[in-house]
């Protein structure tokens, strides 16, 4: 009798110990975190290093594996680690990929931490949804970029005698024609696939965010066949004609010296361009930035965000590390520091950007984000893998990049190809 009672007590005791939530159990261990990202160079590399330093200042051990190359190389490494049964504690991931990848390996439920920090209502609903594929939080957004940002060269505007930034596509085309007549290159060429895709989505978002949602985010066939999408293709053809084809195969930053000098008028890309411009020697006086043209209504916000996903790992020190990392990332000061380095805007909408170190462009972006959230005019970027999983995105970008580089394809045919690509990739 006595023996079984003791055994029962032992069993009960150990069951209680096992039932303790993972994160609470982590209390005693020194926090350590293993991370995989693609941010090895430039301002991204600097920002993630700063984040790592912050982690170490708070008593953690930071083990970051930067995978050089494109996102695909990083995902390859992640996949290899997951298949080997050794996922990193956190890894960079975004958009629908969070949902897709969460199905292949177990993740950590950080909803309690999010609740404690009151984070859920501080970020845009779209972003929050992408981080909660199963109904609870498994990822945290780190920074947000506005894709539909228009940068104008001060000297370029003087040269073409343009006094104010265009606010509709018709005005934009007007300005571009004036610049072309003045002997300048009106629009910068991104030189790669995502850039061709992003020009299309900026055109469509500027024409109609509702159609954007239905066509690019929900893949509704009627929306894809609509006249707004056709108009976007036509605008895209105009963009192609305003760009310098010679820069096609180079990284887009090659455009920057010309932009600063005034030989190139406009750059239409995400907010990170600001950081590149400063690195290239531009000053705040050399350019102005604002939302890309919007044909009707207030400017919409074409959103691209980077998030970190939390993988279930073995070891109390990694559990503690994940807890510490989550807390750090959700803090306003961390996001402020991160965005100052990369030129993005924080994922939190309540960060005060009036502090020095932020530019007016960033402040404007943040304001537009707040307004867009309130008026439900936030759309997710297609070209940067926020709107669709990679398979569908790649198929659509194939069509868009081919269209941009082959002027023999008429807009209507481009639209047909897009519809076919979506059907084939589903």
Partner 1 sequence: MKWTRLIVYAALIVLAILFLVPLGVVIVNSLRSNQEIAATSLIDWPTQVVFSNYAQAWNKFCMAEHCWGIEPYMLNSLTLTIPATIISTLLGALAGYSISLWRFRGDEFVFGLVTLGIFLPEQMKLIPWVVVLRDLSLMNTIAGLVLIHTVQGMSFTTLFCRNYYVGIPQDLLRAARIDGAGFFRIFWRIILPLSPPILIVTVIFQFTGIWNEFLYGVTFTSGGQQPVTAALIALSAAITSEPMYGEQSAAVLIAALPTLLVYLFGGRYFLRGLTAGAVK
Partner 2 sequence: MRTAATHPAAGKAAGIEQGVWRRRFGGALTGLAIWLPLVASAGHVVVFTAWTTWVSFTASSLMPDYTWVGLRNYFAVTRTANFQIAYVNLVIFGGGFVLLTMALGLLLAVLLDQRVRGENVLRTIFLYPLAVSFVVTGTVWSWLLNPGLGIQKVVQNLGWTDFRFDWLVQSDKAIYTLIFAGVWQGAGFAMALFLAGLRSVDADLVKAAQIDGAGPWRMYRRVLLPTIWPIFITVFVILLRSAITSFDLVRALTAGGPGISTMLPTLVIYDFMFQRSELGRGSAAAVLMLMSLVVVMAPYGLYVRWQRQKQARV
Dihedral sign computed on CA atoms, order 95, 320, 347, 191: negative
Which x/- pattern, by CB under 8 A, does the window 115-154 give for partner 1?
A: ----------------------------------------
193: partner contacted, choices partner 2, partner 1, none (Cβ within 5-8 A by kind) = partner 2
Rounded to the nearest 5°, which phi and psi values hold at 383? -65, -25
Give the whole-angstrom CA distance, residue 185 versus residue 183: 7
DSSP 70-119: -HHHHHHHHHHHHHTT---SEEEE-THHHHHHHTTS-B---HHHHHHHT-
CB of 383 to partner 1, least distance (A): 10
Place of tokens 């995502």: 194
Count the site residues for partner 1 by CB under 8 A.
50
> Is residue 321 a contact residue for partner 1 (CB under 8 A)?
no
CB of 73 to partner 2, least distance (A): 8
First to last CA, the chain: 64
Name the segment binding partner 1 (CB under 8 A); options: 102-110, 191-199, 232-240, 332-340.
191-199
> Is residue 80 a contact residue for partner 1 (CB under 8 A)?
yes
> Is residue 243 a contact residue for partner 1 (CB under 8 A)?
no
347 touches 335 (CB < 8 A): yes
102: partner contacted, choices partner 2, partner 1, none (Cβ within 5-8 A by kind) = none
CB of 246 to partner 1, least distance (A): 12
Q: Which of 368, 373, 325, 353 is nearest to 148 (CA)?
A: 368
Which residues on adjacent β-strands are paired with residue 346? 143
In sequence order, the 6+-apart residues with CB closer than 8 A to the CB of 397 are: 193, 194, 196, 197, 382, 383
Q: Which of 41, 284, 420, 423 binds partner 1 (CB under 8 A)?
A: 41
Q: Which of 18, 19, 84, 354 binds partner 1 (CB under 8 A)?
A: 84
Residues that bind partner 2 (CB under 8 A): 72, 75-76, 79, 82-83, 100-101, 103-104, 192-193, 196, 244-250, 254, 389-391, 394-395, 398, 401-406, 417, 424
If the CB atoms of residues 205 and 258 are measured against partner 1, the closer one turns out to be 258
100: partner contacted, choices partner 1, partner 2, none (Cβ within 5-8 A by kind) = partner 2
> Is residue 70 a contact residue for partner 1 (CB under 8 A)?
yes
If the CB atoms of residues 21 and 257 are measured against partner 2, the closer one turns out to be 257
> Is residue 49 a contact residue for partner 1 (CB under 8 A)?
yes
If the CB atoms of residues 329 and 404 are measured against partner 2, the closer one turns out to be 404
In sequence order, the 6+-apart residues with CB closer than 8 A to the CB of 395 are: 421, 422, 424, 425
- Radius of gyration of the CA atoms of the chain, in A: 24
Place of tokens 């200042």: 57
Give the whole-angstrom CA distance, residue 284 versus residue 281: 10
Q: Which of 30, 53, 58, 405 binds partner 1 (CB under 8 A)?
A: 53
> Is residue 73 a contact residue for partner 1 (CB under 8 A)?
yes
The three-state DSSP-derived secondary structure of 204-221 is: HHHHCHHHHHHHHHCCCH
> Is residue 39 a contact residue for partner 1 (CB under 8 A)?
yes
13: partner contacted, choices partner 1, partner 2, none (Cβ within 5-8 A by kind) = none
Name the segment binding partner 1 (CB under 8 A); options: 67-75, 294-302, 391-399, 404-412.
67-75
DSSP three-state, residue 336: helix
Q: Which of 244, 279, 281 is nearest to 264 (CA)?
A: 244
- Residues in contact with partner 1 by the rule CB under 8 A: 37-46, 48-49, 52-53, 62-70, 73, 76-77, 79-81, 83-86, 192, 194-195, 251-254, 256-257, 270, 272, 275-276, 279-281, 342
């Amino acid at each position: 009798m006595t023996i079984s009672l003791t055994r029962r007590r032992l069993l009960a005791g150990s069951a209680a110990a096992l039932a303790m939530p993972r994160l609470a159990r982590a209390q005693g261990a020194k926090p350590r975190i293993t991370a995989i990202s693609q941010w090895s160079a430039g301002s991204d590399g600097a920002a993630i290093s700063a984040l790592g330093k912050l982690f170490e200042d708070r008593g953690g051990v930071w083990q970051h594996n930067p995978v050089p190359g494109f996102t695909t190389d990083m995902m390859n490494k992640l996949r290899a680690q997951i298949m080997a049964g050794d996922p990193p504690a956190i890894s960079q991931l975004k958009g629908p990929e969070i949902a897709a990848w969460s199905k292949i390996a177990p993740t950590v439920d950080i909803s309690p931490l999010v609740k404690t920090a009151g984070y859920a209502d501080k970020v845009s609903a779209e972003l929050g949804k992408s981080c909660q594929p199963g109904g609870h939080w498994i990822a945290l957004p780190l920074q947000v970029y506005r894709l539909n940002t228009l940068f104008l060269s001060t000297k370029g505007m003087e040269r073409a005698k343009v006094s104010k930034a265009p606010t509709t596509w018709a005005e934009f085309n007007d300005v571009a024609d004036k610049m072309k007549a003045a002997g300048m290159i009106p629009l910068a060429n991104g030189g790669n696939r995502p850039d061709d895709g992003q020009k299309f989505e900026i055109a469509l978002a500027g024409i109609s965010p509702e159609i954007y949602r239905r066509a690019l985010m929900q893949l509704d066939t009627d929306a894809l066949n609509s006249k707004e999408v056709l108009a976007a293709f036509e605008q895209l053809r105009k963009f192609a004609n305003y760009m310098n084809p010679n820069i096609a195969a180079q990284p887009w930053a090659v455009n920057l010296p010309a932009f600063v000098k005034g030989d190139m008028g406009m750059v239409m890309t995400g907010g990170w361009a600001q950081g590149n411009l400063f690195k290239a020697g531009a000053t705040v006086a050399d350019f102005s930035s604002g939302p890309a043209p919007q044909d009707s209504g207030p400017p919409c916000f074409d959103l691209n965000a980077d998030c970190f996903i939390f993988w279930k790992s073995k070891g109390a020190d990694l559990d503690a590390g994940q807890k510490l990392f989550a807390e750090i990332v959700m803090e306003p000061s961390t996001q402020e520091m991160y965005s100052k380095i990369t030129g993005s805007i924080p994922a939190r909408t309540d960060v005060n950007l009036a502090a020095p170190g932020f530019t007016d462009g960033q402040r404007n972006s943040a304001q537009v984000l707040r307004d867009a959230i309130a008026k439900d005019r936030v759309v997710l970027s297609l070209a940067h893998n926020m709107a669709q999983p990679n398979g569908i995105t790649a198929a659509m970008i194939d069509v868009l990049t081919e269209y941009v580089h082959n002027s023999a394809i008429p807009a209507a045919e481009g639209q047909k190809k897009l519809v076919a690509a979506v059907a084939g990739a589903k």
